[in-house]
Structure 1
Amino acid sequence: MGIRLGKVLSEQIEHLRYEPTAKRIRAFLGGTLAVDSTNAVLVWEVGRVVPTYAVPVSDVVVPLRRAGDADGTAFRALSKPATSGSRVILASAPGASGSGVLPEDSDLSGYVILDFGNFERWLEEDDEIFGHPRDPFHRVDVRNTSQHIQVLMEGQVLADTRQGKLVFETMLQTRYYLPPQDMLVKLAPTLTHTLCPYKGKASYWSFNAGDELVQDLIWSYENPLEDAVALKGYLAFYDEKVDVLLDGKPAGTE
């Protein structure tokens, strides 16, 4: 019997998963090097679909101590229970601290799983990374398409193109990117920005739909990372909040 790989991967989300990496990993706190390791592993905690890094405790180069009750707010909130183990604080200076956990899992004995977002800067070799480490089992493929793409909101056509780009990303729905000249509404930049480890820093846009100001429904990558260079200047909508038609049919249907 055949096995659908996506189903296998999704079923593993209830387990602690890890994969060694050959990259040199460094993390910084308060401008000070806090972690420097060539023996890091990528770790997907229970219930999480994106990885963080774990390193040998010996590769932590700032003071590390067990966390106390007063340190509760130092740890990011998880939608599922955190990894079992002892919570620790890494501190380079007053007010500059990161956090992690010493896992009970025997496969990761001697390692500390780091809370990625609690460090100010990360390097893989000499390149800075953002958001979370890149998943080695994750792909981002950008493809040109001549399919007729239309985006509508409550019957109003917001964009119409035959020069779009489709983004196929592992375990995620297809996204539709459109050239700015084929937008049929006037866009204004908002102050919102997000970071994607694969595509880079996203800028968000507002527009008027009738009398309503719609904010942050559209985004673009003005200076995308290498995986997404083809998306530079193109715009995408949150498909969940608009209607997307491909050659006159709702996207996602046969």
Structure 2
Amino acid sequence: MRDLVMGALPELRVHPVEKWVRATAGDAVVVSSRAARLVWEPRRVVAAYAVPREDVAGELVPHATPTETAGQEHPFSLDEGGPPVLDPRTPFSAHSCPGAPLTIRTPDGDLPGAAFAPVDPDLAGYVVLDWKAFTQWYEEDEPVMGHPRDPFDRIDCLRSSRRVAISAEDAVLADSTRSTWLFETPLLVRYYIPREDVAMELLEPSSLHTVCAYKGRASYWSARVGDRVLSNIAWTYEQALHDAVPVQDMVAFFTERLDLTVDGVARPRPVTPWSDRAPG
């Protein structure tokens, strides 16, 4: 299945949804559609919404985008040896299929380059929309953060009595037999540890916050180990969305940069986009 999904990455992929999709700019509703489609441009792992042109409350006008400012791609592999995909940091303006960038002109001001009309028969009459150009998105009456939720991704949160120990050099950061394992398609498993089983005295709150469409808003911690500071090495969801409620207030670590044992057996450090850098 992984090979099948990865094999489709070079293609433009389209999937209709039955959700009522809306987006605001400031206090004004600019997008309201009951005929939205999810669109993955080639090599992108995160989808965007496309809606019929008539579902956009504004004039769609050509957006002049010089090549040098069209947007910088950030390729990476989801795992070691995997095909290169476009990092979510890759801006909307870095389009990977033919089409025309458009500005949405509204009575309250322009949204420059916030729409894109791909050259594709399955998207005739549709425009793909830049998530970040809008103030708030809704699926039905529920606010959505981060990006559209992918119907082919899911989260499982499973309690485990296996002993999970996480350390940096000789400092034990967590040691627990009551962790919750979070399985998220297509990412590696994450181990969420109750704070009582975490060496919280070694952790310092960070100013970093990130957003996940499925789990919510994450707050980060750095670890001080001897003379070293491991920046943004751990995170927690203090107000988790419904899929992630079982791990609310628990602490997870980037095991790509730490030592992990499960039931006393060392596990190799996985290679992911976060192996050599902090999130954000």
TM-score normalised according to structure 1 size? 0.91
2:49–2:148: 8 Å Cα contact kept in structure 1? yes
User: Which residue is 1:210 aligned to?
Assistant: 226
Instruction: Supply the distance in 1 between the matched residues of 2:65 and 2:183 (Cα, whole angstroms).
Output: 44
> Does structure 1 residue 37 correspond to structure 2 residue 52?
no
Instruction: Supply the distance in 1 between the matched residues of 2:130 and 2:144 (Cα, whole angstroms).
Output: 14
47, 53, 78: which is aligned to 1:51? 47
Q: Secondary structure at the match of 1:23?
A: coil
Q: 1:107 to 1:96 in 2, by over 3 A?
A: closer
Instruction: Supply the distance in 2 between the matched residues of 1:30 and 1:185 (Cα, whole angstroms).
Output: 40
User: Which residue is 2:124 aligned to?
Assistant: 109
2:63–2:113: 8 Å Cα contact kept in structure 1? no
Deviations 1:23-56 (A, max 9, x none): 1111111321111100000111111111110000
User: Which residue is 1:154 aligned to?
Assistant: 169
Q: Secondary structure at the match of 1:240?
A: helix
User: Which residue is 2:277 aligned to?
Assistant: none
2:176–2:193: 8 Å Cα contact kept in structure 1? yes
Instruction: Supply the distance in 1 between the matched residues of 2:72 and 2:49 (Cα, whole angstroms).
Output: 17
Deviations 1:103-145 (A, max 9, x none): 1011111100111122221011111101110000111000000
Instruction: Supply the distance in 1 between the matched residues of 2:113 and 2:236 (Cα, whole angstroms).
Output: 31
Q: Tell me how far 1:98 sits from its aligned partner.
A: 5.7
Instruction: Supply the distance in 1 between the matched residues of 2:209 and 2:265 (Cα, whole angstroms).
Output: 32
> Does structure 1 residue 99 correspond to structure 2 residue 95?
no
> Does structure 1 residue 138 correspond to structure 2 residue 153?
yes
For structure 1, which runs of at least 5 residues remain unmatched after alignment? none
Q: 1:70 to 1:13 in 2, by over 3 A?
A: closer
User: Which residue is 1:173 aligned to?
Assistant: 188
Runs of 4+ in structure 1 off by over 4 angstroms are 70-73, 95-98
User: Which residue is 1:9 aligned to?
Assistant: 5
Q: Secondary structure at the match of 2:245?
A: helix
Q: 1:55 to 1:226 in 2, by over 3 A?
A: same
User: Which residue is 2:135 aligned to?
Assistant: 120
User: Which residue is 1:240 aligned to?
Assistant: 256
1:83–1:101: 8 Å Cα contact kept in structure 2? no
User: Which residue is 2:240 aligned to?
Assistant: 224
Aligned-residue CA RMSD in angstroms?
2.0
Deviations 1:205-236 (A, max 9, x none): 12310122222110000000000000111000
> Does structure 1 residue 82 correspond to structure 2 residue 96?
yes
For structure 2, which runs of at least 5 residues remain unmatched after alignment? 75-85, 87-94, 270-280
User: Which residue is 2:276 aligned to?
Assistant: none
1:97–1:119: 8 Å Cα contact kept in structure 2? no
Deviations 1:160-219 (A, max 9, x none): 110101011111111111010111241232111000000000000123101222221100
More displaced stretch, 80-89 vs 199-208: 80-89
1:153–1:242: 8 Å Cα contact kept in structure 2? yes
Deviations 1:43-83 (A, max 9, x none): 1111111111000011111222110147985x654446522
User: Which residue is 1:198 aligned to?
Assistant: 214
Instruction: Supply the distance in 2 between the matched residues of 1:171 and 1:127 (Cα, whole angstroms).
Output: 24
Q: 1:95 to 1:58 in 2, by over 3 A?
A: closer
Aligned residues: 248
Instruction: Supply the distance in 2 between the matched residues of 1:196 and 1:120 (Cα, whole angstroms).
Output: 16
15, 27, 34: which is aligned to 1:19? 15
Q: AA paired with 1:82?
A: S
